[in-house]
Amino acid sequence: MQYDIRLAIGYNYGAPSDRARTVVRLLPSNLPGQQRITARLLSVDPEPDERRDTTDFFGNAMSILSFHQPIDRIDFKLHARVERLAPAGSLDLSPNLAGLGAEIAAYRNLDSLSPHHFLGPSRRIGPEPEIAAFATSFHKPDQTVRQTVGALGQAIHSEMRFDPGATDVDTPPGEAFANRHGVCQDFSHVMIAALRALGIPAGYVSGFLRTIPPPGQPRLDGADAMHAWVMAWCGNETGWVEIDPTNNCFVEADHIVVAYGRDYADIAPVKGVLRTSGTQNSRHSVDVEPI
């Protein structure tokens, strides 16, 4: 499936900043066998005094921007054309949890997607006893790792309610789980904490999701938003599997990947520093249009 993706993110500041530095992860990347980029352009207004386009440790496209003059707003616009390939169907060759532990111990590579990077605590996800107990209750000894991942995704989807006003970007996963509501970031952080508690390497994926309007209703420009889901390492044979607990599904051709990381902090779409005063407001719109 091919998509045209248009994104606009803007910030207005109460007073001009004397200077600013921003890191942006909005450009989707080529992923062999999964995703092919035929065009992509990230524009910034006002134009930064310095811009460096590079990749981070996990292989994600990253733009580093510096502004030497005062700015009172900043706008980002992305236009990309992406071909997303549906995952090939395959047999479940993943081991059980005991077998997974042996395969992780024998894994000797520390490349960017090595399972070792995704087992322990990360900046936003630490040990969560309530989530760990919940995960344990849904694991059965005779299950394969992939079956455990699917069962846990379904359980989190059933337990939690999607509520855009319930949390913010800094809400810890333990709090979101205790209150049983949140957004895709919260669903994903909760599931990552649960998987790691069972000894399953798990990471955070940011990207776009094509939304389908109700029958007979037109698609609305800008109605989509950036999305988040989970990747779980299911052993040497199966490798990484991606699952969307917010929508209770394994990832298919409707999910377009932007970045991989251990949690949101690794791959926040826009983050940086500036010195200003007063209030700040932001706006965000995304349109994912199938071609």
* Domain count along the chain: 2
pTM: 0.94
Q: Domain containing 231 — which CATH number? A: 3.10.620.30
Q: Tell whether 169 is covered by a domain.
A: yes
* 124 and 224 assigned to the same domain: yes
* 123 and 174 assigned to the same domain: yes
Contacts of 19 (CB under 8 A, 6+ apart): 66, 67, 68, 69, 70, 274, 275
* 173 and 220 assigned to the same domain: yes
Q: Domain containing 53 — which CATH number? A: 2.60.40.2250
Domain range holding 136?
97-264
Per-position pLDDT tens, the chain of length 291: 999 999 999 999 989 988 899 999 999 989 999 999 999 999 999 999 999 999 999 999 999 999 999 999 999 999 999 999 877 666 899 999 999 999 999 999 999 999 999 999 999 999 999 999 999 998 888 899 999 999 999 999 999 999 988 898 999 999 999 999 999 999 999 999 999 999 999 999 999 998 877 787 766 554 567 999 999 999 999 999 999 999 999 998 999 999 999 999 999 999 999 888 888 899 999 999 999
Q: Please, is 221 exposed, middle or buried when counting C-beta atoms within 10 Å of its C-beta (0-12, 13-18, 19+)?
A: exposed
* 219 and 139 assigned to the same domain: yes
Q: What is the side-by-side order of every strand in the sheet holding 61-67?
A: 50-55, 61-67, 20-24, 270-274
End-to-end CA distance of the chain: 8
Contacts of 24 (CB under 8 A, 6+ apart): 42, 44, 62, 63, 64, 65, 76, 269, 270
Q: Tell whether 90 is covered by a domain.
A: no
